[in-house]
Amino acid sequence: RASSRSIADVHAMLATLTIGSLAMTAPKARVSSASKVVMSDRPNALPFFGSSTILDGSMVGDYGFDPLGLSKTDLNLGSANEKDRSQAYVLRDYREAELRHGRLAMLAALAWPVQELFNPVLSRVLREPNYLAQIGGKSPSVLNGGLGLGPVPYTIAAFALLIAAVDIYSIQLKKEVGENWLPGDFGFDPLKVLGGASLEAKRDMQEKELNNGRLAMVAITTYVIEEFLGKAPVIALNPFFFKPIYEYPAFQDFMNAAFQVSSFRTD
C-alpha cells in the first residue's frame, strides 16, 4: 500500500504540472541563453560528488546532477565526421535529446491512461474490437505485450517516421544556425507564447517544460512497472485518479436523455 501511495503521488504531481507544459520553444530564441545567463547560486544536487566544470548553472534546468559524469563524455550518436565537438556543443546535444524524450513522455503519460479509460467506450460506439481486453485492459508495451494488436504496429511505425523526420530537420537546422543553435527549438510556436517575452520569462517557461518532461519520464516508467507488477491497468490500480466522467450516474443520465447514447449505460 505504501508503494501504491507513492506511485499515486507521482500521478498527482504529473496531472498538476503537465497542465502548464509547453511542447516547443519559441522560434525567435535562436541564440542559446546558456551564454547569456550565469547562475552562481545554483544548488548542487549531490555535493559529495563535487562540482562539474561544464555544469556551471548557465543552462536552464541545471541542478548539478551528473553523478556519472556523462556531460563530459561525447557519445557522438550522430555523424562519425563530428569527432571534435566542444563540450558546450555536446551538452546542448544531450539537452535536445532530453527535451525530445520529455516531450514524448508528456504525450505518453497522458495517452496511456486515456486509452485505457476510453477504449471500451470507443470500441462499443465504433463497433470495433476491444483490443486492450485481450491483454487485461492494459496499454500495449514491451512488458505488457499487445504490440502486435490491431492498429498498434501501424501507430508505432507512424511515430517512428515522424521522429525520423524531426531528426532530419534538426540536423539541417544545426548546420544552418551553427554554433549558436538552441536545443529543442524547431521554430514551432503557433500561439506566440514566448514571442516578445523577456529572457527571464523564456528561461522560466523552458525550465517548466524540462521539469514537466522529467516528471513525465518518471511517470511513464512508473506506469510500465506498476502494470507489470500489479497485473492490472494503471487506472484500476489508481481508481481515485482515473475514474472517468462517463461512469458517474449523473453524466450517464444526461447522455442517455439528451443523445440516447446506449454505450454509456452500465446495466
Q: pLDDT tens digit string along 36-79? A: 444 444 455 555 555 555 676 678 888 877 777 777 777 766 55
Q: Does residue 226 have a known ligand-binding role?
A: no
What gap in Å lies between CA 185 and CA 15, rounded to an integer?
25
Q: Which of 79-93, 110-124, 190-204, 246-260 has the lowest mean pLDDT?
A: 79-93
Residue-wise pLDDT tens digits, 94-153 = 888 899 999 999 999 999 999 998 888 888 888 888 888 889 999 999 888 889 988 899
103 annotated to a ligand binding site: yes
CA distance 45 to 66: 9
pLDDT band at 9 (very low <50, low <70, confident <90, very high): very low
Per domain, the residue ranges of the chain are 2-264
pLDDT score recorded for residue 255: 80
219 pLDDT band, cuts 50/70/90, is: very high
The response to whether 203 counts as a known ligand-binding position is no
Is 82 annotated as belonging to a binding site?
no
| For the chain, percent of residues with pLDDT exceeding 90 | 23
- Rounded to an integer, the average pLDDT of 230-258 is 84
Answer for the pair 115, 139: CB distance below 8 angstroms, yes or no.
yes
Residues near 252 by Cβ (< 8 Å), separated by ≥ 6? 246, 264, 265, 266
Q: Is 200 annotated as a binding residue?
A: no
Ramachandran angles phi, psi of 145, nearest 5°: 85, -170
- What average pLDDT is seen over the chain? 76
Q: What CA–CA distance (Å, rounded) separates 18 from 132? A: 26
pLDDT > 80? residue 29: no
Stretch among 22-31, 91-100, 191-200, 257-266 having the lowest mean pLDDT: 22-31
The answer to whether 212 is a known ligand-binding residue is: yes
**Selection from 125, 121, 148, 122 nearest residue 135 by Cα:** 148
Higher pLDDT residue, 266 or 33?
Answer: 266
The set of residues, in sequence order, having a beta carbon less than 8 Å from that of 109 and lying 6+ positions away, is: 14, 18, 216, 219, 220, 223
The pLDDT of residue 144 is: 87
Q: 71 labelled as ligand-binding?
A: yes
User: Is pLDDT above 60 for 250?
Assistant: yes
Residue 13 near residue 19 (C-beta atoms within 8 A) = no
Phi, psi dihedral angles at 88 (to 5 degrees): -65, -40
* Residue the block writes with cell 562519425: 80
pLDDT of residue 48: 52
Angle at 224 between CA 4 and CA 11, to 5 degrees: 45
Share of the chain above pLDDT 70, in %: 73
